[in-house]
Amino acid sequence: MGLTLTEYHRLTPLPRPGGVLYVKPGARGYRDPVYELLQKVVTPYGEKALDPNPGVGLGSLPLEGRMVVERLETSRAALRCLEASGLRVRLAPPWEAEENAYHLVVLALPAGRGTAYVQATLVAAARALRMGGRVYLAGDKNKGFERYFKEAQALLGYGKVLKREGPVRVALLEKEKEAPPLPALWHRFAATLLGESFTFFHLPGVFSAGKVDKASVLLLEALVGEVGREGIRGKRILDLGAGYGALTLPLAHMGGEVTALEDDLVSVLSLRRNLVENQLTALVLHSDVDEALTEGEAFDIIVTNPPFHVGGAVILDVAQAFVEAAAARLKPGGGFFLVANPFLKYEPLLEERFGAFRTLLVREYKVLFAQKANRG
């Protein structure tokens, strides 16, 4: 048994010069060696700095009180920590940074978000810098640092690696030439789900960009096989970790009253556009697991394709929090559908939280089903 939902949502204060830094499980940048090494190396330069991937704020923390530091953050979990810490932050993707406005950029490479997101972030950083401005660039050589460092050099000019600890690197670069335009941000693809055609649009950095992942397809198949299409119509449905809407859209199309929760802003923006483009309706909330819901809000059906694909302790904490949220948010008699990689052992947790579970389908992934006991 790991964290309870209350423990997952709780912010933990850590002492820092002049105050505290709030962290929590599932928030990017906490106990991350890339951010930790970046913090050791960063020094002020000029008057105004940008951190376009701050997480909980560790990397740019040494600049606080010595420069004006602006942070752009997309994760609701990280945003909660930054705001609680009293650090200046705006909810926005990195490509919304003001152009030619900063003397310094502090960037922990968002390598886990995919190449398109990293490249858009690098171009946005180059455009945000004034001529002669500097970039501290941090990353892991096992996660593409050398490649992205070369791309940053091509965008900016001079650069060198300042510090190495294990696979982690921090480089310093200087802007010597004008930055190119931002790459195209919106991408489009079509998909057929449960016999219906949908058009999806997405920004860089979303999960399963360019195609609906097989796990989501399998979950939809298992759900309809269990309750039927009519069992979806009119039901209150919660999509936990909704992404750009691979589950939300077909469930809304079948008449479900869907609430979609998603931690990542670019996925939220993508999902909202997809609902408009496909003439469907759902409530989309930017949420750290279920914290955006009102107290006592409950659902007939909860579905999730949790973020197990990245791996690591923090991600497992998030996935477990999804199970805890489902147990708390289901109506009596309601059903919880979870799709997972076969090697991930959610079964003991489902048995503990629901008393029993069933395996509905097993192919490349498995779909697990648990039902909340009726009262009385």
Domains in the chain: boundaries: 5-174, 187-371
Q: Comparing 5-174 with 187-371, is the CATH topology the same?
A: yes
pLDDT of residue 116: 97
Domain 5-174: which CATH number of 3.90.226.10, 3.40.50.410, 3.30.43.10, 3.40.50.150: 3.40.50.150
Given a contact cutoff of 8 angstroms between Cβ atoms, the answer to whether 240 and 318 are in contact is no
Nearest to 168 by CA among 345, 38, 266: 38
pLDDT of residue 309: 45
The ranges of the chain with pLDDT < 70 are: 1-2, 308-315, 376
Count of H-run helices and E-run strands, the chain: 10, 18
In this structure, which topology does domain 187-371 adopt according to CATH? Rossmann fold (3.40.50)
Given a contact cutoff of 8 angstroms between Cβ atoms, the answer to whether 263 and 241 are in contact is yes
pLDDT of residue 1: 52
pLDDT of residue 257: 98
257 burial (CB, 10 Å; 0-12 / 13-18 / 19+) is middle
Q: Residue ranges of the alpha helices (H) in 157-278?
A: 214-227, 248-253, 265-277
CA 366 to chain centre: 23
pLDDT of residue 311: 32
Residue 307's SS3 state is: coil
Residue 36's SS3 state is: helix
Residue 252's SS3 state is: helix
Cβ density class 197-227: b for 16+ within 10 Å, e for less: ebebbbbbbbbbbeebbebbbbbbbbbbebb
pTM (predicted TM-score):
0.96
CA 258 to chain centre: 20
pLDDT of residue 15: 93
pLDDT digit string, tens, across residues 238-284:
999 999 999 999 999 999 999 999 999 999 999 999 999 999 999 99
Residue 205: left (phi > 0), alpha (psi -120 to 50), or beta?
A: left
pLDDT of residue 312: 37
